[in-house]
Amino acid sequence: YSHFAALGVNVTVEDASHHGKVDMSIDFNGHVYLFEFKVVEQLPEGKAIEQIKTKGYADKYRASGKPIHLVGVEFSSAQRQIVAFDV
């Protein structure tokens, strides 16, 4: 969040929709980016990108006509680093 906010990008955290809240949304340069972050034990599970899709977080942006990019990021609690990054 802090990196995007420092760049002056329009960032919304815990962006609510009728199905829940996506962790972070960014509206930048005519594109919408939706981020979901998950902590996993060790191995990537694909749950971050899956949650964005199954909960329909992008639905509220479809009428804008802007391209929508879904980004799932998974962090390992054991390795303390990113272990999966799905777009």
In the chain, the domains with their CATH numbers are 2-86 (3.40.91.60)
Q: What is the pLDDT of residue 8?
A: 87
Q: Give the tokens for residue 20.
A: 């829940």
* Residues 84/72, Cβ–Cβ less than 8 Å: yes
What's this model's pTM, rounded to 2 decimal places?
0.86
In terms of Cβ atoms closer than 10 Å to its own Cβ (0-12, 13-18, 19+), residue 37 is middle
Give me the average pLDDT of each 10-residue run along the chain (87 residues).
Answer: 86 84 91 92 79 91 94 89 89
Q: What is the pLDDT of residue 73?
A: 92
Q: What is the pLDDT of residue 4?
A: 85
